Amino acid sequence: MPIEWAGSSPGLLLPLDRASSEPLRSQLERGLREAIRHGRLQAGERLPSSREMARELGVSRGLVQECYSQLHAEGYLTARVGSATRVAELATRGAPAATAPPPVPAPRPLVADFATGVPHLAGFPRGDWLWAQREVGRHAPTAAFGYGDPRGSLTFRRILAGYLGRVRAAAAEPDRIVACTGFAQGLSLVLRVLVRAGLRRVAFEDPGYGEGATMAAAAWAGVDAVPVPVDRDGIDVDALAATGARAVLLTPAHQWPTGVVLAPGRRHELIAWAARCDGVLIEDDYDAEFRYDREPVGTLQGLAPDRVVALGTVSKSLAPALRLGWVLCPPALADALITEKRFSDRGSPLLDQLALAALIESGRYDRHLRRMRAGYAGRRAALVDALALHAPHVELTGLAAGFHAVAHLPGDADERAVVAAARARSVGLYGMSDYRFSRAATPPQLVLGFGNLSERAIADGIAAIADLL
């Protein structure tokens, strides 16, 4: 697709060798021909004006005009009075085409894809986000357009600290918040800091992140990942203590993927464990924004700010594409984490941070979360109703928050066979075995994400696989 230019002429690299015996006009003609033949200039592409081309190349305007006239006569260019000179439509047809790979057949569209971790993408508040960006463009100080503090914008960190204290009961201070490009980078920074401090063994919940990107990040950081079982009250602290690890990654608000909430007693046991072994609790504040029929649960960080590193993101509350998150770190790790961030990328995009700060400060962010919470509640109800109608013997758990649930299949069911058979019927299902360290498919369970599905798609998807369940 040719580039469309507004206003001034486009730039074009055509070097001339003034030490060559070849005349400059011939060099220019040859350079343009080759650029057109080899696809650097596409059909319909606008060329710089003769005046602008002459100025850029340091030649006379007449020389450029003669060159354009010659290429027009040869059929390479088109020109009309009062219009820009462009590459002719037929000029590039003889250009050698790159060898194209064989076409890949498009996958069959799914009736419903119960993919996990995907929010309602169409629910992104486009109008509010554009408003926030305009506000930033109008009112941001000139200094906001520089490299800035590697921790992020101070305005963003102040407003975020107030929000986390108000909504998540966090002990948040702006100086200990580091903006990052989402959970993945935040965790990677924390793990690298821990490795430098000598903590090479880190525990993870099981089931938990399985063999996905999180485990890949742990391996990249040089961490020995140790699984610790999760029961109905959350992570087993006695089993954690037996691993010898001094750091653990947790999802206390809504355990991924079982959906259990870390019980109050376990919270205090974890903090006591960390104090005994001089350990670190890494809190992934997953799904904390979306709760339905239970009381709000505050952060673990608010109970032990000197022991907990809290990771947050707007990937679920707004959209993954924003790549915007934060690390709230204890005083002992703050300097090391800031240094790691500085040498990693010098800081995350400041203007997006200011836009999020404007959303929070104006109340638009809270309003968006209320709207999304209501939408997810409707989807959750549709999933419950569909299973009650088509597969009443299937138990659903983990529904108190977030936008996924766990379906417990009969004990003799073959989890992987159910997933494969559902895919043959154009329904995407995902087994709990994907999230277990052992990859064991027993007990057979499905992790059903409903965040990015309509209520109709949920009902149709469950109806299509009812006999498989």
pLDDT tens-digit readout, 339-363: 999 999 999 999 999 999 999 999 9
Three-state DSSP class for residue 418: helix
The class that CATH gives domain 126-362 is: alpha beta
Pick the CATH number of 112-117+367-468 from 3.40.30.10, 3.90.1150.10, 3.40.720.10, 3.40.50.410: 3.90.1150.10
Kind and range of the H or E run holding 180: strand 177-180
- The structural domains of the chain, with segments of one domain joined by +, span 24-87, 112-117+367-468, 126-362
Q: Would you call 48 exposed, middle or buried from its count of C-beta atoms within 10 A (0-12, 13-18, 19+)? A: buried
Of the candidates 95, 93, 89, the one whose C-alpha atom is nearest the C-alpha of residue 45 is 89
Q: Residue 199 is encoded by which pair of tokens? A: 């903590």
CA distance 352 to 336: 25
CATH 1.10.10.10 fits domain 24-87? yes
Residues 6+ apart with CB under 8 A from 246: 199, 201, 277, 278, 279, 280
Residues 6+ apart with CB under 8 A from 460: 111, 112
> What pLDDT does 6 receive?
41
CA distance 204 to 214: 10
Q: Where are the beta strands (DSSP E) in 232-292?
A: 234-235, 247-250, 280-284
In sequence order, the β-bridge partners of residue 328 are 177, 310
> What pLDDT does 208 receive?
92
Amino acid letter at 336?
Answer: A
* Omega within 30 of 0 (cis) for the link into 443: yes
CA distance 57 to 63: 11
> What pLDDT does 286 receive?
84
Tell me the average confidence (pLDDT) per consecutive run of 10 residues in the chain, 469 residues long. 48 84 90 88 86 88 91 88 81 55 76 94 97 96 92 97 95 96 94 93 91 80 92 96 96 92 95 96 89 79 96 95 96 96 92 97 96 95 96 93 93 95 96 93 96 96 94
Apex 148 CA angle, 142 and 152, nearest 5: 115
Q: Residue 63 is encoded by which pair of tokens? A: 């020389």
Are 57 and 63 spatial neighbours (Cβ–Cβ below 8 Å)? Answer: no
CA distance 338 to 369: 30
> What pLDDT does 8 receive?
55
Alpha carbon of residue 461 to chain centroid = 26
Residues 6+ apart with CB under 8 A from 269: 237
CA distance 466 to 441: 20
Tokens 């066979």 belong to which residue? 417
Kind and range of the H or E run holding 150: none
Q: Would you call 224 exposed, middle or buried from its count of C-beta atoms within 10 A (0-12, 13-18, 19+)? A: middle
Of the candidates 347, 68, 308, 13, the one whose C-alpha atom is nearest the C-alpha of residue 164 is 308
| Strand-strand pairing, 280-284 and 247-250 | parallel
Three-state DSSP class for residue 224: strand
Q: What letter does residue 341 receive in the DSSP assignment?
A: H
